[in-house]
Structure 1
Amino acid sequence: MQTLNLSFPPAPPWRLLAVLAVVAIMLLCSATEALAHNVAEGDKGYIQESSGVLIMPFIYLGAKHMVTGYDHLLFLFGVIFFLYRMRDVGIYVTLFAIGHSTTLLFGVLTGITANAYVIDAIIGLSVVYKALDNLGAFQRWFGVQPNTKVATLVFGFFHGFGLATKIIEFEIAQDGLIPNLIAFNVGVEIGQLLALGAILILMGFWRRTDSFMRHAFAANTLLMTAGFVLVGYQLAGLAQN
């Protein structure tokens, strides 16, 4: 997998820095309402009040969660940033899906939970990790390269466990639980494919321009900063509870 040397001298990315400031402000301003695995109030009420097998509604909820889940999207953006072959994209996305699906189903069915703030902080760190990996930081600082496939699978476990923890809090009905969970998970994967398709299209256009390599350093710095912001307000939320 391609990475950048940290000494890479990008052109002054003023527009990217402006976007960075806007993203940071938006995340900080929404910190009291938006957690990485928060669910809209209407969806939360539906989950709590529903009973029986509801395949299509739970597929919709799963797809909506993935498409609007900025933590997932940031991580996926980092994962595919330097992946040019669809075969490689398929391998990494499949590993993430396996990890995400496994802990989502396991967590809800067993009732095993953890502090949501801690899990979401780890998920924020997954974004930071991927940005540093793209920047070649681990090779430069420590002389080693983490196994990126294993890391993607492991962080997939945390992403799925974070959502499982949130669903358990909603006390989803036992009637139709397994079919609904499977439907929700199918929806998550559908949403992931939709989001991934959009990201790949945009990346494809960007990679054809001269600005891609010139601004790759700044883009991953932006990604890393967004990850640190996620970690920061999750830890702030933990301190307040």
Structure 2
Amino acid sequence: MLPVLPDRHWCTRASSGGRHLMWILLALALFGTSSDVLAHAVAQGDKGYIQEITGVNLIAFMYLGAKHMVTGYDHLLFLLGVIFFLYRMQHIALYVSLFALGHSTTMLLGVYFNIGINSYIIDAIIGLSVVYKALDNLGAYQRWFGFQPNTRAATLIFGLFHGFGLSSKIIEYDISPDGLVPNLLAFNVGVEIGQIIALAMILIVMGFWRKTDGFFRHAYTANVAMMSAGFLLVGYQLTGYFVA
């Protein structure tokens, strides 16, 4: 069983450091919900490039994949939640691999078979994945329902939704079928490279943070902030769906 926050009274009070973490995460979510930085949107320059090129362009698509992951705040929030209480590298590798498997499968198959999902709906589900993981880290399911959901299955399933989020956007750009398969594979390799880079940065920060005396006190606030950011993303996407 994965560790969760201890059920102690002091965990319910946010320290000044914890409040800073909350504002950082909420600011990240607010930045992400701006009209020009949608969760799975591709930058305008990259969008035009994708639509114009034909043939096999492995390096270009690998770069675009890595860029997407490193700048994909929704992916990073979920990834942070997944590894928040993982200390052993074999556990981190297992859960990140499950997320990558789900993400890669639906991204590749979704584009290849032209399976698109409304971008507002899929991004709202991705926001819910952040909420789910934050609540899991807080031990909410054990307290509310008396059982712990299968964390491995949840990571894989939400990885599938994250992949559909990206495939739906790629489909909208109607990229050339010439060289589609190798370009998609290169894009996916880039995504995984970006994920490794992002994960390394997260683990470095988490490593220093975990050595501090106030880690658990701040961790409670950080997960509440993560949950709030997830709800903010869900609300933004659902608003877009109903008013678009």
TM-score (norm 1): 0.96
Q: 1:92 aligns with which of 95, 119, 128?
A: 95
Deviation at 1:35, TM superposition (A): 1.6
Is 1:75 matched up with 2:78? yes
Offset from partner CA, 1:159-189 (integer Å, 9 cap, x none): 0011000000000100000000000000000
What are the equivalent positions in structure 2 for 1:170-209 lying under 5 Å apart? 170-209=173-212
Q: 1:14 aligns with which of 16, 30, 34?
A: 16
Deviation at 1:27, TM superposition (A): 3.8
Q: Match of 2:216, as an amino acid?
A: M
| Unaligned ranges ≥5, structure 1 | none
Total equivalences in the alignment: 241
- Matched-pair contact (CA < 8 Å) for 2:18–2:219: no
Deviation at 1:19, TM superposition (A): 4.5
Q: Match of 2:3, as an amino acid?
A: Q
Q: Match of 1:53, as an amino acid?
A: V
Is 1:62 matched up with 2:72? no
Is 1:119 matched up with 2:122? yes
Q: How well do the aligned residues superpose, as a CA RMSD in angstroms?
A: 1.5
Q: Match of 1:3, as an amino acid?
A: V
TM-score (norm 2): 0.94
Q: 1:220 aligns with which of 210, 220, 223?
A: 223
Q: Secondary structure at the match of 1:89?
A: helix
Q: Match of 1:103, as an amino acid?
A: T
In the alignment, the residues of structure 2 paired with residue 20 and residue 84 of structure 1 have an alpha-carbon distance, to the nearest angstrom, of 23
Counterpart of 2:243 in structure 1 is 240
Q: Which moved more, 1:165-174 or 1:231-240?
A: 231-240
- Matched-pair contact (CA < 8 Å) for 2:18–2:217: no
- Matched-pair contact (CA < 8 Å) for 2:26–2:226: no
Counterpart of 2:214 in structure 1 is 211
Counterpart of 1:51 in structure 2 is 54
Q: Match of 1:96, as an amino acid?
A: F
Q: 1:195 to 1:203 in 2, by over 3 A?
A: same
Q: 1:25 to 1:86 in 2, by over 3 A?
A: closer
Q: Which moved more, 1:136-145 or 1:14-23?
A: 14-23
In the alignment, the residues of structure 2 paired with residue 128 and residue 26 of structure 1 have an alpha-carbon distance, to the nearest angstrom, of 15
In the alignment, the residues of structure 1 paired with residue 235 and residue 10 of structure 2 have an alpha-carbon distance, to the nearest angstrom, of 28
In the alignment, the residues of structure 1 paired with residue 38 and residue 94 of structure 2 have an alpha-carbon distance, to the nearest angstrom, of 28
Counterpart of 2:4 in structure 1 is 3
In the alignment, the residues of structure 1 paired with residue 85 and residue 21 of structure 2 have an alpha-carbon distance, to the nearest angstrom, of 21
Q: Secondary structure at the match of 1:63?
A: helix
Q: 1:75 to 1:25 in 2, by over 3 A?
A: closer
- Matched-pair contact (CA < 8 Å) for 1:28–1:233: no
- Matched-pair contact (CA < 8 Å) for 2:18–2:221: yes
